[in-house]
Amino acid sequence: MFKPVFAGLLFLTHLGAASLLSAPAQANNIADNLAEPHLFIKPGGAQGAQVALTLDACSGKTDLRILNMLVEEKIPATFFITSRWLQHNQPAMDIMLAHPDLFQIENHGAQHVPAITTIPTMYGIKTAGSLEAVTKEVQSGADAIKAAGAPQPQWYRDATARYSKDAITHIEKMGFQIGGYSLNADMGASLSAGSTEKRILNARDGDVIIAHINQPTRHAGEGVASGILKLKKRGMRFVRLKDVESSRSVLSDAKH
């Protein structure tokens, strides 16, 4: 699973730190045959540090504090959207589609269902339960994105970012790369603005940042907007997933 495209000391050290943080969850993951894939992009090297900003639109509305800032500052981002979100947020989708030079639109599923076949719920959300249901969730999500006028999605990130291992294999066979991450900026849009900003400012070269763009009334979104802006002013470069090489790590429970 691991493609050692650019594995180095920094990369491995970083991976180790990320894995330690999720250690308590790993015990359960092993029992349930679940994985939480990590994803890194190639470090920027001589060009300067770079990160990939990924933003999930699970359901609900659109946080224009983030979207408008990205447009105004010309900051590239990769959005993972569900068809459920798309049905109620066409104006935001129009903004994303109007900036193909900045924004990549990828697949977060049709109804925000975890791609898990081994347990009935994850964090209170009903899981797919079968590979047939995973197929439907992934394919319907991709179809909705194409129908809205975006290119065929190449990446898939499920609800909760936890997967059963059979689902990962299945989704990859369907032609999608798994949209993992390395830096959780907002913990499901649950953090304060200050905490979210602080986490984003800790981003390092090669990180894939995950945050949410569908919670305009929560404080976390304010921290996403301010954190990204400050990171840019510090000289961090932003790239989309399709612009760079990336490397999904060994599955989180596979070597610990």
Binding site for Zn ion (CB under 5 A): 56, 58, 159
Nearer to Zn ion, 186 or 222 (CB): 186
Nearer to Zn ion, 178 or 236 (CB): 178
**DSSP code for 38:** B
State the minimum distance, in angstroms, from the CB of residue 206 to Zn ion. 23
Nearer to Zn ion, 159 or 209 (CB): 159
Nearer to Zn ion, 58 or 95 (CB): 58
User: How far apart (Å, rounded) are the C-alpha atoms in residues 43 and 66?
Assistant: 25
Strands, E assignment, 22-85: 34-35, 39-41, 50-57, 77-81
State the minimum distance, in angstroms, from the CB of residue 12 to Zn ion. 29
State the minimum distance, in angstroms, from the CB of residue 233 to Zn ion. 29
Secondary structure element (H or E) that encloses residue 167, with its range: helix 165-173
State the minimum distance, in angstroms, from the CB of residue 191 to Zn ion. 16
Residue whose structure tokens are 């349930």: 32
Contact 112, 58 (CB under 8 A): yes
Residue nearest to Zn ion (CB): 58
The tokens for 153 are 């999605």
Nearer to Zn ion, 215 or 252 (CB): 215
State the minimum distance, in angstroms, from the CB of residue 187 to Zn ion. 12
Best CA proximity match to 230, nearest among 82, 73, 81, 12: 73
